[in-house]
Amino acid sequence: MGGSGMGMGIGPGTGAGIRGGLPEEKNVAQLVQEHTNVYARKFQGLLDRSTPHVIERWIVTGVLFLLFLLNVVLRQGWYIVCYALAIYILNLFLAFLQPRFDPSLAEDLAAEDVEEGAPGLPGSSTPKSGGGIKGLLSGFSNGNDEEEFRPFIRRLPEFKFWYSATKATAIALVCTITRATDVPVYWPILLVYFLTLFGLTMRRQIQHMIKYRYIPFDLGKKTRYGKK
């Protein structure tokens, strides 16, 4: 009888063994994944709540960047990290200034008769405009309702620009914890090279803005992107 009773206790499907009757245990990878998902959801919720607070978000980024600069100046190091951060933020800023749909591409398509007057491609029928500041400012609406209004859509939205810049600045600040990331370099060369690169890229961007008559900032007037 005792033997048969023990046999009934170890039958199939009864959870036999040392862990018989207990719920299935989760391995370490599953526990880590669950906790990671919880923190990821909380972090995403925090980002969502911070979306309308533009000034506050950029103040936080400015404080992080100031702390990083203080480390570079006072501790005399991490110049290569500073240069890499500056180049990365410059690329983000250029993407922030550029339109999502390149009017030069639409112009080429129109010239090749591949796609004429395609909707959603701002500047598809844009002729070359006059140069100078006058040509740039003429991109504003002058109150003529007969012209088609095409809103300026950025290649890189403001929130993504802020998030990427903040993340890069935080990583650069973490790099100042150890001297292992402090690569010896002659910093005046990096400074001159960055200023030259900044001047050339911004000059090209301004020429692009003048040619296609748009201003990527809201100055209180609606911009007619690709206006005739």
Has residue 198 been placed in a domain? yes
Buried b (16+ CB within 10 A) or exposed e, 111-141: eeeeeeeeeebbbbbbeebeeeeebbeebbe
Q: How many domains does the chain have?
A: 1
pLDDT at 123: 45
Has residue 48 been placed in a domain? yes
Torsions phi, psi of 179, nearest 5? Answer: -80, -5
Q: Provide the 8-state DSSP code for 88.
A: H
Has residue 84 been placed in a domain? yes
Has residue 227 been placed in a domain? no
Spell out the per-residue pLDDT of the chain, length 228, in tens: 444 444 444 445 444 444 554 445 567 777 777 777 888 888 888 888 988 999 999 999 999 999 999 999 999 999 999 999 999 999 999 999 988 877 766 665 655 554 544 444 444 444 444 444 454 444 444 444 444 556 678 889 999 999 999 999 999 999 999 999 999 999 999 999 999 999 999 999 999 888 888 888 765 554 454 544
pTM for this entry: 0.66
Has residue 21 been placed in a domain? no
The 10s digit of each residue's pLDDT in 187-206 is 999 999 999 999 999 999 99
Has residue 36 been placed in a domain? yes
Has residue 53 been placed in a domain? yes
pLDDT at 80: 95
The 10s digit of each residue's pLDDT in 168-180 is 999 999 999 999 9
Domain interval for residue 74: 29-212
Residue where the block lists tokens 């150890």: 178
Has residue 127 been placed in a domain? yes
pLDDT at 24: 54
